[in-house]
Amino acid sequence: MRIVKFHRRALVPVLGLALLLVPAQSPAAPGLGRVDVTPDHVAAGSTNTFKLTFTADTGALQGQSLLDVPRGWSVPQTARPGATGYVALARDTCSSATKLLRLAGNRLTIATDCKRGQRFEVTYGPAVASAFAADGYVFLTQTKPNVGVTKTKLVRVKKVVRKKNGKRVQKIVVKRVRVVLKPTFRPLAAKKQPVVVVNGGPVDHLLLSAPTIATAGTPFGITVRAEDVYGNTASAYTGTVGFSSSDPNAFLPTPYQFTSNDFGAKTLGGVILRATGTQTITVSDNSGRVDASNPITVYSF
């Protein structure tokens, strides 16, 4: 007689499959609102009064806003109206609950109660801009609601089930639950942040740069830069410059008038030095500004 044996397979929960059912967390959403600043272009080291307007553009905000003044600018203060760095808040169309809570260092904390489309304004100034020109200084703004956002997520839980034979076993199941996320400060979207571009101020001096080594009779280029008192490029410079050299037989660029498209700097080619040894090139403009280049060691062929 043939004997056939039946074997019961053990029930083994596969946790890896359950993990595949849980979606990856999405990046944190940006804070709510938009901030516009005027003026948004200033000269390095200049003194201005800035107006920053917060608008609850995509929804209401009941909570707090943070506003950080960039380092290198006037330190904000609320004690002396009219003095450098003075900060004031006007709630405009937002409710009376909107007010400046505290000022610590360069950070303003603002209680914010604005319906969608409402706004408040912060004035900052007179304030001295950074002495360093840059494509943009961000007055970083973050917002936080009073109440956290309710979301759902998938979680793995243990569940006791009864098999056909009445035996109880544990099983891993995935279920969707509702959770309230703790409210946190989140920066506004990059395009909604207030950015002030700092350009070079009025021209203070010229700077001529040349190669340190050249070959007699071989052309090379030189660069002339108009700079403000802080060493930034004076982008609005439109003076006329001329050239001379310690080499009496040098071939130099003809006088050149800067245009607004040069943004304060111009490279000119075709310079030829013929005398060997250490030579220099000098630039001067029609307003009496003069600068000599770095020493240029000229070698023979």
> What is the domain-level CATH number for residue 273?
2.60.40.1930
Residue 66: give its domain's CATH number. 2.60.40
Strands of the sheet with 141-145, listed across from one edge: 99-104, 107-114, 61-68, 141-145, 186-187
Question: Does residue 25 fall inside a structural domain?
Answer: no
pLDDT digits (tens, 9 = 90+) for 131-188: 999 999 999 999 999 875 667 777 787 777 777 777 887 878 777 877 666 889 999 9
Residue 130 domain boundaries: 34-147+183-199
Mean pLDDT score of the chain: 88
191 and 243 in a common domain:
no
Question: Does residue 2 fall inside a structural domain?
Answer: no
Question: Does residue 270 fall inside a structural domain?
Answer: yes
Question: Does residue 294 fall inside a structural domain?
Answer: yes
pLDDT digits (tens, 9 = 90+) for 205-231: 999 999 999 999 999 999 999 999 999
Number of domains in the chain: 2
83 and 222 in a common domain:
no
The span from the CA of 198 to the CA of 130, in Å, is: 7
> Tokens in use for 100?
């400046």
pTM of the model: 0.75
191 and 88 in a common domain:
yes
Residue 14 clears pLDDT 50, i.e. is over it: no
Question: Does residue 112 fall inside a structural domain?
Answer: yes
% of the chain at pLDDT higher than 70: 88
193 and 258 in a common domain:
no
pLDDT digits (tens, 9 = 90+) for 87-135: 999 999 999 999 999 999 999 999 999 999 999 999 999 999 999 999 9
